[in-house]
Structure 1
Amino acid sequence: MDARLEAVRQIADAVLFEGYVLYPYRASAAKNQLRWQFGVLVPPAYGKDSAEHAYQRTECLMEPKRGARLAVELRFLRAQRKTVQEVAEDGSYETVPRLELRDRVVVPWDEGVEERVRVLVPVTDLLGGTSRAFRLPARQDQEGLDESGVRVGRLLRAREELSGVIRLSARHIPGPYSALRLTAVVENTSAWQGMGEARRDAALPHSLVSAHLLLALDRGSFLSVTDPPRWAEGAVAECRNEHTWPVLAGASGRDDVVLSSPIILEDHPHIAPESPGALYDATEIDEILALRTAALTDQEKREARGTDDRAGAVIDLADSMPPEVLERLHGAVRALRDISAPSGGGCDAPPQPWWDPGGDTDVDPARDRVLIDGHQIGAGSRVLLGPGRRRTDAQDLFLAGRAALVEAVLHDVDGSVHLAVTVEDDPGADLWRLQGRFRYFQPDEVTPLGEA
């Protein structure tokens, strides 16, 4: 079972660290002021008054063989708050916003510590339901900082107490088949109550961040939720997945492991072989990131190294990348498609460079308008989304028929026009707007609704 899970942990790690630290990898960067947007299970006291959730629910079908066991591995990050202190003249320590060292600039930061909770249970026990509660105690550590053999400061790291529960159950599917509907609920049960108008950053140390599940059968198989056999289509349609999505994982053709992820993936996802290592920034292309990271100034690299060890590893990777590896990142053809189909569709990051404020002064995303069905559409306009099926992905299709607010009109280097939008009634719209992250659609994918 360990071997089967290990085979998909590389993909699971990509989910675990999705958007962990964004380019330019410094704590001071605006992009890194609002972190951890995927799979955050907050304490119940915070979740009830916010747009975030204290639980996630996975449902899928499985066909276990006699005597089968189910292995469940919950994986998540636990926020570890890092405080920087400098040695004062009297030898005491005082908290500072930054500490300059020879090789790095150390700053306060929330580090992510990987946690795992594992359960192994006979499938027959699932028919009556079972649960596994867990509790992670608070912890504090410190690390001395020396320069030339002299103590100049220290880092204090603190983790808060966190508790949760995994609830597992299964029931038979009506009909002649021996399939079971598996339900796996992960819930944050932390007793943290917050103080008054508690901010999100106060709740994060008590949250399960980037939470996802690995499910494996030692004997039997799972059915695809996105492409089930015809006899199971009705039962799969009745599966209720909340704040997560299960896909078959492992090599193509294997069906004994499922990854339930807060990010929508296809069955059998895999890491591109060209990828040189983890770059963490969820919105960029490896080649662009590698080139831009290598071009950072020495001071910027020192700040990145002092932000987080993982950020420092990205800097070292970019600095040491040989030309042949960079060349490999330039591109690879995996499959041919109809290149006459327009490119684009909704996504949370534009695929090409956008408007350069130091270049074409006739282009202004906030003021530009585009004519659609006789209406001038621009920032502040309301539109109805109708994603084009030939150039979209699964996430865009969920938005079909939804009303959205146009935030900007953008022109890419190929001369195409794109609308940056936020979806109406999306509780996270303000967060996306603060980060400058939007959904992108072409003019023929929207219908004008008027001004907001």
Structure 2
Amino acid sequence: MTSTFEQARAVADAVLYEGYLLYPYRASAAKNQARWQFGVLVPPSFAAPERGEHGETQTECVLDAPATATLHVRLRFLHVQQRLVQDPNRHVVSHLVVNGEDVPAWDETVEYERDVVVPLARLLSGDHVAAVVVDGAEDVEELRDADGRMRGRIVRVRQPLTGVLRISASPISGPYGGFRIRVLVANTTARAELDSSRECALRHSLVATHLLLGVTEGAFLSLVDPPEWARPVVEECENVRTWPVLLGASDRSDAMLSSPIILYDNPAIAPESPQPLFDGTEIDEILTLRTMALTEAEKRAARSTDPHARALLDGIDGLPAEWLERLHGTMRSVRSTVREPRVPWWDPAADESVSPDTDSVQVAGTRVAKGSRVRLKPGRRRTDAQDMFLHGRTATVQGVFVDVDDEQYLAVTLDEDPAAELQSEHGRFRYFFLDEIEPGEGGPCEHEC
């Protein structure tokens, strides 16, 4: 296990709870009737690709490491538990009011992790298969009023589920070596009865499934921007319903996150974000302000929905003003020292050997420089139909320039243009190559000196 691996928990938790609970954070909200869209692995009996339900995911990545390295794989997901509400006679009801607070029926979750540590040399002799077994359970919480009288119960029910974690490694041929790592995660839960509802299937599913990969020696390579020698192997990697990204260094790291949400390498939680909001498609500032604007009744309903919702509302209500200011915007590139602005390559000032005001060129044995009068004859290289109207017109050279291909050209203003002086002051010129002009009369020196 690496330090980078452990530091990634904040990002992994954001993936784990993305979409868990959506604004306005009430159980009754329409948005919260269709939860958990990321990383859901349903039982084989419910899997149906045509309706977007799948039971497995595959991660492939490239590892630059010796055969003596040890691979650490951590599977993380949410296990849905049903929160049933019962009245004093133990009849299931949609909600109860106890001590002035509404207690609704709701689906909560329990975090689950499965760690597998396996030497790379072991994988070269065959796949390593680890079982994922989550037992069913039932927990009871009594609901009593201020006088201690029984007003009902909360019964939390978790269905059993099983899965498999299959890890394999294959050596990469060539002078650089390395290995291609594959991790398959599958839901193998066998259900006696097939229920057509997704709500029921979710209680037998791995939700928000993702992997953390770590290595003791060597490093994982970026799949976004790999080194050239590894690019052909990276292009052959097949990632199914998951996206592996590096954690830590820019192009190689001893830890990787395989997420059901597309991320870039080195993801991180913005330091300005004071707490999880579960709705990553929203801007933190907007979502925080909208939550603060909820009525007291709406906030009570949200707090009674879920412990996570209660913590979120409590955190926003107690948010200091300076945190709101931080959410409004942050500049990350401020430096303590003032740097001289860099001259762009296309600016003549970038090259001291170039001086448009004093440089000159030879055209038909005549020296042409700033102030020279020339006659325009736009050539065939022109594609602008309006250039035909400039043929034969006289112009005054305003500067001699060189393009990126070291070809010289002239900046001119039309003599007949009443706005020529104004355009010259603003640096608005017409540009012509040397074979598109003829020397005219007037200027600094009409013949070769």
TM-score computed with the length of structure 1 as normaliser: 0.71
* Structure-2 residue corresponding to 1:211: 209
- 1:102 deviates by 3.5
State how far apart, in whole Å, the 2-side matches of 1:230 and 1:12 are: 29
State how far apart, in whole Å, the 2-side matches of 1:99 and 1:278 are: 28
Cα offsets for 1:131-156 (capped at 9, x unmatched): 10121111100111222133222110
* Structure-2 residue corresponding to 1:243: 241
Do 2:221 and 2:251's aligned partners in 1 also have CA atoms closer than 8 Å?
no
Please, which of 103, 111, 116 is the counterpart of residue 114 of structure 1?
Answer: 111
Do 1:46 and 1:203's aligned partners in 2 also have CA atoms closer than 8 Å?
yes
Unaligned runs of 5+ in 2: 335-449
CA RMSD of aligned residues (A): 1.6
Do 1:80 and 1:157's aligned partners in 2 also have CA atoms closer than 8 Å?
yes
- 1:215 deviates by 0.3
TM-score computed with the length of structure 2 as normaliser: 0.71
Do 1:41 and 1:187's aligned partners in 2 also have CA atoms closer than 8 Å?
yes
* Structure-1 residue corresponding to 2:43: 43
Choose 275-284 or 72-81, whichever is displaced more.
275-284
- 1:250 deviates by 3.2
Q: What is the total number of aligned residue pairs between the two structures?
A: 331
* Structure-2 residue corresponding to 1:256: 254
* Structure-2 residue corresponding to 1:414: none
Cα offsets for 1:49-91 (capped at 9, x unmatched): 642110000001001235210000000000000011122xxxx
- 1:251 deviates by 5.7
* Structure-2 residue corresponding to 1:12: 12
- 1:331 deviates by 1.2
Please, which of 275, 278, 287 is the counterpart of residue 276 of structure 2?
Answer: 278
* Structure-2 residue corresponding to 1:201: 199
**Correspondence 1:227-242 to 2 at 5 A:** 227-242=225-240
* Structure-2 residue corresponding to 1:407: none
Please, which of 129, 132, 140 is the counterpart of residue 131 of structure 1?
Answer: 129
* Structure-1 residue corresponding to 2:294: 296
**Correspondence 1:59-74 to 2 at 5 A:** 59-74=60-75
- The letter for the 2-side match of 1:290 is T
Structure 1 residue ranges (4+ consecutive) displaced by more than 2 angstroms after TM superposition: 2-5, 101-104, 193-196, 250-254, 333-336
State how far apart, in whole Å, the 2-side matches of 1:69 and 1:98 are: 51
* Structure-2 residue corresponding to 1:53: 54
State how far apart, in whole Å, the 1-side matches of 2:55 and 2:191 are: 12
* Structure-2 residue corresponding to 1:153: 152
Do 1:103 and 1:302's aligned partners in 2 also have CA atoms closer than 8 Å?
no
- 1:335 deviates by 6.2
State how far apart, in whole Å, the 2-side matches of 1:331 and 1:78 are: 36
Do 2:71 and 2:214's aligned partners in 1 also have CA atoms closer than 8 Å?
yes
Does the residue aligned with 2:28 lie in a helix, a strand or coil? coil
Does the residue aligned with 2:46 lie in a helix, a strand or coil? helix
* Structure-2 residue corresponding to 1:343: none
**Correspondence 1:417-436 to 2 at 5 A:** none
Do 1:105 and 1:305's aligned partners in 2 also have CA atoms closer than 8 Å?
no
* Structure-2 residue corresponding to 1:362: none
Cα offsets for 1:328-387 (capped at 9, x unmatched): 111113469xxxxxxxxxxxxxxxxxxxxxxxxxxxxxxxxxxxxxxxxxxxxxxxxxxx
Does the residue aligned with 1:292 lie in a helix, a strand or coil? helix
* Structure-2 residue corresponding to 1:353: none
Whose radius of gyration is greater, 1 or 2? 2
Cα offsets for 1:2-61 (capped at 9, x unmatched): 643211010000000001100000010011010100000000110036421100000010
Cα offsets for 1:428-450 (capped at 9, x unmatched): xxxxxxxxxxxxxxxxxxxxxxx
State how far apart, in whole Å, the 2-side matches of 1:117 and 1:258 are: 16
Do 1:77 and 1:208's aligned partners in 2 also have CA atoms closer than 8 Å?
yes
State how far apart, in whole Å, the 2-side matches of 1:7 and 1:253 are: 18
Cα offsets for 1:125-183 (capped at 9, x unmatched): 11121110121111100111222133222110000010000001111112111210000
State how far apart, in whole Å, the 1-side matches of 2:67 and 2:184 are: 24
| Identity in percent | 51
- The letter for the 1-side match of 2:77 is F
* Structure-2 residue corresponding to 1:162: 161
State how far apart, in whole Å, the 1-side matches of 2:262 and 2:198 are: 24
**Change beyond 3 A, Cα 1:27–1:171:** same
Do 1:84 and 1:98's aligned partners in 2 also have CA atoms closer than 8 Å?
yes
Do 1:134 and 1:165's aligned partners in 2 also have CA atoms closer than 8 Å?
yes
Unaligned runs of 5+ in 1: 337-452
Do 2:167 and 2:183's aligned partners in 1 also have CA atoms closer than 8 Å?
yes
* Structure-2 residue corresponding to 1:175: 174
Does the residue aligned with 1:206 lie in a helix, a strand or coil? coil
Do 1:40 and 1:208's aligned partners in 2 also have CA atoms closer than 8 Å?
yes
State how far apart, in whole Å, the 2-side matches of 1:80 and 1:2 are: 32
State how far apart, in whole Å, the 1-side matches of 2:327 and 2:28 are: 28
**Change beyond 3 A, Cα 1:253–1:192:** same
**Change beyond 3 A, Cα 1:253–1:170:** closer
- 1:252 deviates by 5.1
- The letter for the 1-side match of 2:9 is R
Does the residue aligned with 1:47 lie in a helix, a strand or coil? coil
- 1:253 deviates by 6.8
1:191 and 2:190 aligned? yes
Does the residue aligned with 1:269 lie in a helix, a strand or coil? coil
**Change beyond 3 A, Cα 1:239–1:23:** same
Does the residue aligned with 2:83 lie in a helix, a strand or coil? strand
**Change beyond 3 A, Cα 1:318–1:333:** same
* Structure-1 residue corresponding to 2:356: none
* Structure-2 residue corresponding to 1:369: none
Cα offsets for 1:180-207 (capped at 9, x unmatched): 00000000000025436x1111100110
State how far apart, in whole Å, the 2-side matches of 1:178 and 1:147 are: 68
Does the residue aligned with 2:268 lie in a helix, a strand or coil? coil
Does the residue aligned with 2:38 lie in a helix, a strand or coil? coil
1:144 and 2:145 aligned? no
**Change beyond 3 A, Cα 1:2–1:143:** farther
